[in-house]
Amino acid sequence: MKYQQVLVGLVLAIVLFLFPLSAEGVGSSSIRRSTDDAFSGKDFSGQSLIGAEYIHLKLKNTNFSNADLRGGVFNNSILQRVNLHGVDFTDGVAYLVVFEDADLSDAIFTDAMMLRSTFDDVDITGADFSNAVLDRLAVKKLCDKASGVNSKTGVSTPVSLGCQ
């Protein structure tokens, strides 16, 4: 019996090695990739952008206010003067993102991964960062200006950041 299990496992391993399964990715409709200003200045306010990916973008004056960005991804991007007021970025990823002069007020960043991102001259009044993963220096910088309570979650910004 044990001999048969080993033999079946060996045959299966050989078959998978010789005839690997193809890897299917997410459809391109949910991915927005660009190296230019294709999305700068656009109005995405109030839209459902669940799971959308924005990779290697330089966004200026783009409006995402009150958009549903749950599970969304901003990777290696610059968000300059971007309006993220009231967005729901729960479970989102913002890796290597520069938030510069951006409005993050009343936004929900619960359980978001925001490593290696910087926050320069941002408004975080009422933003909820509960369980978000941020670099220690980013948290320290955000705590210096943290104030307000999120209108949807009722969580205080300083409490959500773990400010002392």
The pTM (predicted TM-score) of the whole model is 0.78
Nearest-Å Rg of the Cα atoms of the chain is: 21
Percent of the chain with pLDDT over 70: 77
The pLDDT tens digits for 10-56 are: 554 564 455 554 433 433 344 444 444 667 889 999 999 999 999 99
Helix (H) or strand (E) holding 134, with range, is: strand 133-134
The pLDDT tens digits for 149-161 are: 999 999 999 999 9
Report pLDDT for 39. 77
Average pLDDT over residues 98-120: 97
DSSP secondary structure string for all residues of 72-124: -EEES-EEES-B-TT-B-TT-EEES-EEES-B-TT-B-TT-EETT-EEES-B-
Percent of the chain with pLDDT over 90: 72
**pLDDT greater than 80 at residue 94:** yes
Q: Are 133 and 114 in contact (CB under 8 A)?
A: yes
Q: Which has the closest alpha carbon to 146: 125, 129, 160?
A: 125
pLDDT-derived band at 164, boundaries 50, 70, 90:
confident
